[in-house]
Structure 1
Amino acid sequence: MGYTNQRVAYGNTLVELGRQDERIVVLDADLGASTMGKLFEAEFPQRHFEMGIAEANMTSVAAGLAQTGKIPFTNSFAVFAGGRAYDQIRQTIAIGKLNVKICGSSSGLSDFGDGATHQCVEDLAVFRAVPNMTVICPADANETVEAVKAMAAMDGPCYLRLNRNDYPNVTKEGEKFTIGVPTVLKEGTDVALFATGYMTRLAMEAAKELEGAVSVRVINVSTIKPMDLEAVRRMADGCRAVVTAEEHNVRGGLGSALAEVLCREPKPMKMVGIQDTFGCSGHNYQEVLEYHGLTKSAIAEAVREMAGI
């Protein structure tokens, strides 16, 4: 079944996996109706745990469940999933390499109405810095389905970053997902445009807008960590410049991760992202994205600049 919302794709995939594996359990922190943990609860009430507004406790309980052989998925808004439970994530789950899957929903600016307190623009940086942690940021709902399946199959701690809103898919339904491996969505020779999450869609739109003027290679980086370093170098090779696009602070996220990889063979590089500031509230998602310069036009302008036109 096709989905256009990452949260809905996530919730339904958990149900599908729950039917196949009784070890899968789901924990929510009073937000099951938003994270779509409610879908799992409806079918498996004995394997769903409503922990209330207590993210730290939820995370500790998940760690304990993992120690007994369960595969726990914890759900909350991204800003709370890591922010309120960082100590438990670091000290218990990451150090112990426990098989806990952490889902940060409504990430980036996607919770446009609630403003900076409920938006999360630094989670990739936080989780990327935690040893033993896998960090996944799917491009769309189609990729979310396959990413959740891959998370359940892998052993070890993992963070999944999800958008709140509906938007068209850029990946194909059922397309193979391999943790750590970026994928080329469009070939090009002038500028390598690396994008993650929602910005992957805008990257594709920008590349299409530039056809005939700039040849843009679009790369979907859905795994922020681990990252296939040789694949990244190979995908940047042959292009004279690099542009990154992310719905995240430009400090510590996708752009920083790629700069660390490419610094040995440097190319001109520009990062499109949130410029080291908190989010804000707005009437709709697009308004907030535009305020922060996260648009197709901003990506296209960065590509033109790097291409020298």
Structure 2
Amino acid sequence: MQDIDAISALIGQTPSSPAQTILITTHQNPDADAMGSSLGLAGYLRKKGHRVTVVTPTDYPQSLYWMSGNDEVVVFEEKIRASVSQMMAETDLIFCLDFSALDRIKDLGPMVRQSRARKVLIDHHLEPESFADAALWDPTAASTTELVFRLIVELGDKNLIDVPIAECLYAGLMTDTGSFRHSNTTGNVHRMAAELVDLKIDVSSIHRRIFDNVSLDKFRLLGYVLNEKLKVLPEYKFAYITLTDAELKQYRSKTGDTEGMVNYALSVDGVVMAAILIDRLDEIRISFRSIGNFSVRDLSSAHFNGGGHRNAAGGRSSLSLQETEQKLLSILPQYQQQLLATF
């Protein structure tokens, strides 16, 4: 679904089009693609003369605070529910970025669904929920920032992409491709990256601010995880990590500190699937990664109320951490032949 014309009509593309009040939201625990696409789109829409607010359902890592527009982001908390509800009631248009279903934005989901505002979905995850009036959806896109870039170009406004907007878009593109090493790194990805670099963005600075901005507590947590919590099951080519709430508190874990840890498990020689199971008190959150043709999205969707991409997916469990771990281990025999055949 690529409703470029419908989106153009909704945001107004003529000089006489009236300014609109626009709200942009993204998934819980936003990553660089979520925040990069949201803040990049916000910067563009403000240049078009619109009044724009970015609202996130939860907080996000401090390594993303450098993005232009971050100071104006509204992070949802229960104590501001009334003001966010009022904001929803007064907005003309809601952009939903980097998620395919409203349950991915927690308490904001019912608010968005009930809002009278027109809704636009921009996303690259599979099986999008049908709630939007218009959508720019492409599961072959490497990132949502790639789709935002495509939208701006298709609308004839490439000249409005300045350095701050370009930095936001590049951050999402870089991280969702694993610094351009994942299989979703296409020619279009490199062409987009080249166009953004040509705007004189500081590529090394973006990389440093996202990846080389690690607290001592996070390093100590990572050391503990690799030394004590990483389990490898060669008979399934599978490695996984479990983390309790107590362990997270012991190492003073902050939002984003566990981001990317599952990739260490996947990097073990001979491993083709990895997972990290984290106790977040209200639920167990699971991140899956794989290589080759083994689909962690299918596994997560079938057993853990999850979804995502073939090689990167998430899931949830209402069981205890120990029960979730046992459930995961119990289903591995179903996938053993597939896992052993994957290289």
**Range class of TM-score, shorter chain:** 0.3 to 0.5
More helix by share: 2
Q: TM-score, normalised by structure 1?
A: 0.37
The higher-RCO structure (CA 8 Å, 6+ apart) is 1
TM-score where L is the length of structure 2:
0.34
